[in-house]
Amino acid sequence: MWDHEIRAMASSHAIIAASVFMATVLPAVVLPGFSVYGSHLLWIYSVSGAVTAVSVAVFWLLGITPPTKKHTLGYKLSRLFRSCLYFFLSCLFFHTVVVLYGAPLIESALETFSLAVLLTSLTTLRCLCVLGPNVQAWIRVFSRHGAMSVWDTCLQITVACTVVGAWVGAFPIPLDWDRPWQVWPVSCSLGAMIGFLTGLVAAPAWIHYHRKQLTYKCK
Amino acid sequence: MKVRSSVFASFILIFEVIGVALFLRGFFPVPVKSSFSSKSSLSDLPAEPLTGSSPNSSRLPQPLFKRVVIMLVDALREDFVFGPNGRMFMPYTRHVVERGSSHSFVAKARPPTVTMPRIKALTTGSIPGFIDVVMNLNSPALLEDNLIWQAKTAGKRIVFYGDDTWVRLFPKHFMEYDGTTSFFVSDYTEVDNNVTRHLDSTLKRDDWDILILHYLGLDHIGHISGPHSSLIQPKLLEMDDILKKIHSALISKEAEGSLPYLLVLCGDHGMSETGSHGGSSEPEVNTPLVLISPAFKRKVGMEQPGVVEQVDLTPTLALGLGLPISQNSVGRLIQGVLEETSLRDQLRFLHLNGHQLSCLLKDSVLEYEKDPGFEQFRVAEKAHGNWMKLYLEGNTSEVLTNMGKKVLKQYLEALAAMSSALSKQLGKYDMYSMIAGMVFVFQLLLVLLLAMPEALSGGAAVDLPVLSALLSLPFYLLCLLLASVHVLVCTSAESSCYFCSLSWGLVFAAVAFSSAMFCILVSIATRRLPLGPKIHGKSPLRSSGGEWSLSELDVLLLAGTVGHTLSLAASSFVEEEHQTWYFLLNTLCLAVFQDVCRKYFREKRGSGEEEEHLLPSKDSHASDHPKAEMYSEKWLALATPPFTLVCCRLLRSLNQTGVQWAHLPDVGHWLNSSEHRMVLSLLSAFCLVLIYLLVQRRCSWVSKVALALGLLGVYSYRAAVGNVLFPWQHAGRTTSKGTVEARFVYVFVLGILFTGTKDLLRSQIITADAKLKSRGLWEIYSGLVLLVSLLFRAHNLPVLCCCLLIQTLMAQFIWKKLHYDAAQTTIMHYWFGQAFFYFQGNSNNIATVDISVGFVGLESYVEAPAIFLTALSTYAGPLLWACHLVCYLSSERDRSPVAVGHGCYCLALLRSVPAAAYIVLVTVLRYHLFIWSVFSPKLLYESMHLLLTAGVCLVFNTMEQSHSSSKS
């Protein structure tokens, strides 16, 4: 039914996954002493930067972002500004949640915030790209039976996978194995990343296999 | 036979408790004991071996020492003396260790590193089992053969000053004693001064042979502020001065020609990096042992101290004083002590020690003759005899000395082998009892699980085919089969087995019960079978509606319960179990938050033909209310989960627990330090006021007054004990035990409980008034809250406060408004209860149990109330949440009449699944390295929790009974 859209989704996901891969490999080649564990914060920033840039470009080129009503420059600027604001607020939100989960409040605030930035660029940024800075639409998509298009379903799946990945990533922290990836926040950010990649693969596949059952209400 | 779910659940739980008790009896090994209950005496000592002629004298060699002073410093860690800071902490001791005539060792204590078992180990030489700690919170007189008894029988005069555990263990053994209680952990000067004040006069006198000093101050400092606090150094310097004083007094007393003295400095256990003890980490286990006597060679510089077992001191002291070694000792002689004696005496001492160990080995190991240590000992004994023969013939050649040295070496090897074989005995399990207990528990659990669809149905009743099972042929066949298996196992068992030693009547009852359970199990299973596949996929939570879909919350609740059970297999997850619960609780709160958001925000958008279909009652209900009220209610409901999250985060930093991060500073320690007493006072006063405000809402006015006075009493108790400041306190007032204040509170607790019970009874017998009844229940609950607020330490009052606050908010805005069913509410209550268990500072380690609670309001130790109070305060979190569940579910009765039954069933299921799984895990992991330090304390906690849950289920039961009676 939505073959065209599914194909577009699969290819865009492939591009995003490739960007994650490049963001891990390129600095390792260019910068001496770069590694995923050793310079973890650098890796987080490189990956989130790459994902941000590539998703914005891909979704803008695909034209999924809801059409703006007005075409004035001022309106566009205000949208851009609001998007940035939401991005920052979402970073703060994730930071708060992670602290509530028991991350130290002051000691490793930078690490915690980096994790929040990564989570934001993997989840909130996609929402911003697909739905625009429109909180009502977000609430709609994330409530039960709220998806109105293939892209909404895809968004649900990737966001859920990322968050669950980060959640599962916290499990090995109490184990006394003394491995480098048990250091805060390596396991969580790796978990989020793996969850995100899984989501990228799972979303088109799931939609492809359930395309007969999926029905969407019109707007 | 149709049974209500609550009756069914309590029945199952009670029998599970019995099954677990049987398992525990098999799991915890009985300590190695000689089969003779008598004590060893000088007359049955073996003769000195001599080949050829009849054995010569059986007398002991000349004792090595005339007087012994044992200075035991509680929680003295090895590095306090031998470590890099040792020179600073204990300069004189270090000097003696390095330059004086002394021997120094690192003595390894066996876990549990708690004072009482350590004292037992030091005096009897045996290794007290883990269960000893639990069974002997109160230490009655030690009846085993021990060093002190031997010394007294031999006419030695013993003087003791220090921890009164000794006085209780050895009543009437001391010529002179003064026991100090370790009652107030906050006191670390007075306890030691009480010991030192006798020292001067005692040291001047000559009328004693053994002087034992037990200093508690260092241990108390460790508990208050850890091993790196600034209080440690002055305390250690004080100990050093005392040692110097004793040493110089002993030197001045020493007379030419008589036997030398021996001064022993030792610790009973160490302290961990947090300052607690009880576990088996290196700093807890390693204690210093310094022996000072002119009989030893003078040292020429610091050497690396050798490693010995703590129990090795016992035979050394016994032989040094010319006493028989106590029967159950597994220690071996410290050879360094003998270095200045003649070879003949050395061999004789080692022979005596070896003989005692081989006797013990004969008693406790079945095939002792094949034991390598025993064989080695026999060989060495023979060689000893040959050597003696040559020696007595007057041979003094070099060859003889070399031969003697060889015998010595053989003896030492034999001693080491026998000692380790005996220690290994401790790890033997009574597998038959364990398996029997496990089978019971699993049968019950399976019945519980299979009955789920019926128990959670609208009728909340389970149909148990008891009669048909009892009259069936398989039942009798099974009985016969099991009885024959029992006979077979018991007659062929090599080692002693508890289940076999039970009387025949009991065993037969157990066999009949087990086979009846099996028949019931099979018949229920066959009843389910046709529906099997349908039920398999069905969730227990939604079974009433017959829907297949699970909400996110249901998935989380199920996954959390299963995941937690699985996590118990890893020792780190057991040590850090609090992390699991905090994590799950946080996720739960976020899931609830999402539910709330979904409900209120979708409503606001008004796009909900679906909501009307989902929540018809809510909409009709809301339309009656004025708009403003609904608005505030919405925001309160939205704020509740985040508020809960913030509360949990704050409580989490109140008490650091577990193992890995336990050393991190926490708010509790900060509050307890003396300079923040003002903050603590204000905080606890604020908490008590808040507790009053939260609890009084639903009480009668009598209970309100009683509660207010009771909470005032709690504050004055804390002030009397010295934890908090009283505004108009006299400056010179000393701290007391606060017995009067505590009893004052007890009176009000009893009063409130009485009023509550009266209300409950009245609502049942005279009028079937639901309101009166829920008030009665709430009053009982508030009595419990008052009792807990008395028992909690002052810095833990915020835990209680937050508990009440979260309960109130959740009940008002979440559970009622979001229409969670009884099963979901029960699981949430259980999770909160578990998390609060750890919030109050508990862990899966025995060391965190606060025993001092058992003395609140009592002048001296009385066993029954002390155990009750300790259990209550340890399990306060889960108990308070379970009680709140009873209150909440019975107040919800008009919405769902079977809620109480469902809640009881779910609680039983939630508790028995991890308990049963844990029993299997422990059995599988019984040879794990951490079995004694990590898994077995957790096993005790689990079984205790199971017992308490059985009690709570009985309360549920009575509540439901009264429901049905008030209905009819």
Locate the domains of chain B by residue range: 65-328, 341-428, 457-539, 540-656+683-723+736-967
pLDDT band at A185 (very low <50, low <70, confident <90, very high): confident
Residue contact A100–B586, C-beta within 8 A: yes
Residue contact A100–B570, C-beta within 8 A: no
Q: What pLDDT does residue B537 have?
A: 41
The answer to whether the beta carbons of residues B720 and B730 sit under 8 Å apart is no
The β-bridge partners of B269 are: none
Q: Is B160 helix (H, G, I), strand (E, B) or coil?
A: strand
Q: How far is A109 from chain B (nearest CA, A)?
A: 16
How far apart are alpha carbons B642 and B945 in whole angstroms? Answer: 30
Calculate Rg over the CA atoms of chain B: 33
Please, what CATH class does the domain formed by B65-328 belong to?
alpha beta
Contacts B649 to A, Cβ<8 Å:
99-100, 102
> B448: which 2 tokens?
């519980």
The answer to whether the beta carbons of residues A94 and A116 sit under 8 Å apart is yes
Query: Strands (DSSP E) along B531-676, which ranges?
Result: none
Q: Which spans in B766-849 are helix H?
A: 770-791, 797-809, 822-839
Per the domain annotation, does A218 fall within a domain? no
Residue contact B646–A100, C-beta within 8 A: yes
How far apart are alpha carbons B26 and B10 in whole angstroms? Answer: 25
> B848: which 2 tokens?
């965190």
CA dihedral sign of residues B907, B909, B914, B915:
positive
How far apart are alpha carbons B962 and B968 in whole angstroms? Answer: 10
How far apart are alpha carbons B898 and B463 in whole angstroms? Answer: 16
The answer to whether the beta carbons of residues B347 and B363 sit under 8 Å apart is no
How far apart are alpha carbons B844 and B279 in whole angstroms? Answer: 11
How far apart are alpha carbons B396 and B460 in whole angstroms? Answer: 92
DSSP letters spanning B728-748: T--TTPPP---HHHHHHHHHH
Q: How far is A171 from chain B (nearest CA, A)?
A: 8
Phi then psi dihedrals of residue B566, to 5 deg:
-70, -35
Residue contact B597–A139, C-beta within 8 A: yes
Per the domain annotation, does A15 fall within a domain? yes
Closest Cβ–Cβ partner in B586, B598, B605 for A101: B586
The β-bridge partners of B70 are: B212, B264
Q: Is B927 helix (H, G, I), strand (E, B) or coil?
A: coil
How far apart are alpha carbons B896 and B621 in whole angstroms? Answer: 17
| A contact set with B (CB within 8 A) | 97, 99-102, 136, 139-140, 143-145, 167, 170, 173-176
Per residue, the 3-state secondary structure of B867-902, as one string, reads HHHHHHHHCHHHHHHHHHHHHHHHHCCCCCCCHHHH
CA dihedral sign of residues A37, A42, A48, A51:
negative
Per the domain annotation, does A43 fall within a domain? yes
Residue contact B570–A170, C-beta within 8 A: no
pLDDT band at A219 (very low <50, low <70, confident <90, very high): very low
Contacts A145 to B, Cβ<8 Å:
610
Per the domain annotation, does A214 fall within a domain? no
Q: Is the pLDDT of residue A93 over 50?
A: yes
- Cα–Cα distances in angstroms (integers) from residue B867 to residues B737, B743, B800, in the given order: 19, 17, 21
* Residue that has been written with the tokens 């209950």 in this structure: B37
Q: What pLDDT does residue B132 have?
A: 63
How far apart are alpha carbons B497 and B27 in whole angstroms? Answer: 11
The β-bridge partners of A206 are: none
Per the domain annotation, does A161 fall within a domain? yes
Among left, alpha and beta (phi > 0; psi -120 to 50; other), residue A63 is left
> B906: which 2 tokens?
């779910």
> B299: which 2 tokens?
């040292």
Per the domain annotation, does A81 fall within a domain? yes
Q: What pLDDT does residue A217 have?
A: 57
How far apart are alpha carbons B955 and B12 in whole angstroms? Answer: 15
How far apart are alpha carbons B772 and A188 in whole angstroms? Answer: 52
CB pairs under 8 A between A and B: 45
The β-bridge partners of B178 are: B161
Per the domain annotation, does A200 fall within a domain? yes
Residues in chain B: 968
Q: What pLDDT does residue B539 have?
A: 42
How far apart are alpha carbons A210 and B509 in whole angstroms? Answer: 58
Nearest to B573, CA basis, from B934, B194, B906: B934
The nearest alpha carbon in chain B to A219 belongs to: B607
How far apart are alpha carbons B597 and B592 in whole angstroms? Answer: 9
CA B296 to chain centroid: 42
The B residues from 566 to 605 touching A (CB cutoff 8 Å) are: 570-573, 575-576, 579-580, 582-583, 586-587, 590, 597-598, 601-602, 605
Give every residue of chain B whose pLDDT is below 50, as ranges: 138, 532-548, 606-624, 968
Q: Residue A171 carries which DSSP code?
A: T
The nearest alpha carbon in chain B to A163 belongs to: B587
Q: What is the pLDDT of residues B646-703, one digit of tens each?
A: 999 999 989 888 777 877 888 888 888 888 888 999 999 999 999 999 998 888 888 8
* B575 or A38, greater pLDDT: B575
Tally the domains of chain A.
1
The answer to whether the beta carbons of residues B195 and B214 sit under 8 Å apart is yes
The answer to whether the beta carbons of residues B779 and B755 sit under 8 Å apart is yes
The answer to whether the beta carbons of residues A100 and A35 sit under 8 Å apart is no
* Residue that has been written with the tokens 């009896």 in this structure: B25
Residue contact B572–A176, C-beta within 8 A: yes
CB environment B143-180: b (16+ within 10 A), e (fewer):
ebbbbbbbbbebebebbbbbbbbbbbbbeebbeebebb
Q: What pLDDT does residue B83 have?
A: 87
Distance between the two ends of chain A, CA-based, in angstroms? 18
Residue B267 host element (H or E): strand B261-267
CB environment A95-127: b (16+ within 10 A), e (fewer):
bbbbbbbbbeeeeeeebbbbbbbbbbbbbbbbb
Q: What pLDDT does residue B615 have?
A: 38
> What is this model's ipTM?
0.93
Q: What pLDDT does residue B622 have?
A: 42
Q: What pLDDT does residue A192 have?
A: 94
- Cα–Cα distances in angstroms (integers) from residue B108 to residues B78, B116, B126, B152, B413, in the given order: 10, 16, 14, 27, 19
Q: What pLDDT does residue B237 have?
A: 92
How far apart are alpha carbons B725 and B794 in whole angstroms? Answer: 11
Domain span at A202: 3-209
